[in-house]
Amino acid sequence: MGGFFGVASKKDCVSDVFYGTDYHSHLGTQRGGMATLSDDGNFTHYIHDIRNAQFRSKFEDDLPKMSGNTAIGIISDYEDQPLIINSRHGRYAIVTVGVVQNAQKLEAEACAAGIHFSEMSGNEVNPTELIAHLINQGKDFTDGLTKAQEAVEGSSSILLLTKEGVYAARDRVGRTPVIIGKNENGYAITLETCALPNLQYQIERELGPGEIVRITADGVERMKCPGDCMKICSFLWVYYGYPASTYEGRNTEDVRNECGKRLARRDDVEADCVSGIPDSGTAHAIGYAQESGLPYRRPFVKYTPTWPRSFMPQNQQERNRVAKMKLIPVRELIEGKRLMFCEDSIVRGTQLQDTIERLYTEYGAKEIHMRPACPPLVYGCKFLNFSRSRSIDELATRIAIKELEGEYEHLDEYADASTERYQAMVDKIRERLNLTSLQFQTLEDLVEAIGLPKEKLCTYCWDGEG
When the beta carbons of 169 and 232 are compared against ligand SF4, the nearer one is: 232
**Cβ–Cβ < 8 Å for 85, 92:** yes
How many residues line the site for ligand SF4 (CB under 6 A)?
13
* Cβ 24 to ligand SF4 shortest distance, Å: 17
* Cβ 26 to ligand SF4 shortest distance, Å: 15
Q: Is 260 in the site for ligand SF4 (CB under 6 A)?
A: no
- Here's the x/- map for ligand SF4, 337-376, by CB under 6 A: it reads as ----------------------------------------
The dihedrals phi and psi of 376, each to the nearest 5 degrees, come to: -60, 140
Q: Is 428 in the site for ligand SF4 (CB under 6 A)?
A: no
* Cβ 239 to ligand SF4 shortest distance, Å: 9
Could you give the C-alpha distances from 305 to 32, 143, 310, 340, 381, in angstroms and in order?
21, 47, 13, 27, 32
Q: Cα(50)–Cα(213) distance, rounded to whole angstroms? A: 30
Q: Is 242 in the site for ligand SF4 (CB under 6 A)?
A: no
Q: Is 247 in the site for ligand SF4 (CB under 6 A)?
A: no
Of 410, 408, 299, 392, nearest in space to 348 by CA: 392
* Cβ 177 to ligand SF4 shortest distance, Å: 12
When the beta carbons of 12 and 206 are compared against ligand SF4, the nearer one is: 206
Q: Is 458 in the site for ligand SF4 (CB under 6 A)?
A: yes
Q: Cα(133)–Cα(127) distance, rounded to whole angstroms? A: 10
Q: Is 461 in the site for ligand SF4 (CB under 6 A)?
A: yes
* Cβ 242 to ligand SF4 shortest distance, Å: 16
Q: Give 147's contacts (C-beta < 8 A, 6+ positions apart).
A: 134, 135, 137, 138
Query: How many other C-beta atoms are found inside a 10 Å radius of the C-beta of residue 37?
Result: 25
8-state DSSP, 205: E
Sole window of 86-94, 115-123, 146-154, 382-390 interacting with ligand SF4 (rule: CB under 6 A): 382-390
When the beta carbons of 29 and 234 are compared against ligand SF4, the nearer one is: 234
First to last CA, the chain: 17
Residues, the chain: 466
Q: Which of 76, 81, 193, 234 binds ligand SF4 (CB under 6 A)?
A: 234
Q: List the beta bridge partners of residue 37.
A: 43, 70
Q: Cα(218)–Cα(135) distance, rounded to whole angstroms? A: 25
* Cβ 241 to ligand SF4 shortest distance, Å: 11
Three-state DSSP at 294 gives: coil
Q: Which of 242, 383, 414, 440 binds ligand SF4 (CB under 6 A)?
A: 383
Q: Cα(43)–Cα(62) distance, rounded to whole angstroms? A: 14
Q: Is 233 in the site for ligand SF4 (CB under 6 A)?
A: yes
Enumerate residues 160-219 that contact ligand SF4 by CB under 6 A. 175
Q: Cα(372)–Cα(383) distance, rounded to whole angstroms? A: 22
Q: Cα(279)–Cα(281) distance, rounded to whole angstroms? A: 6
Q: Which of 85, 166, 384, 449 binds ligand SF4 (CB under 6 A)?
A: 384
Sites of contact with ligand SF4 (CB under 6 A): 175, 233-235, 381, 383-384, 386, 458-461, 466
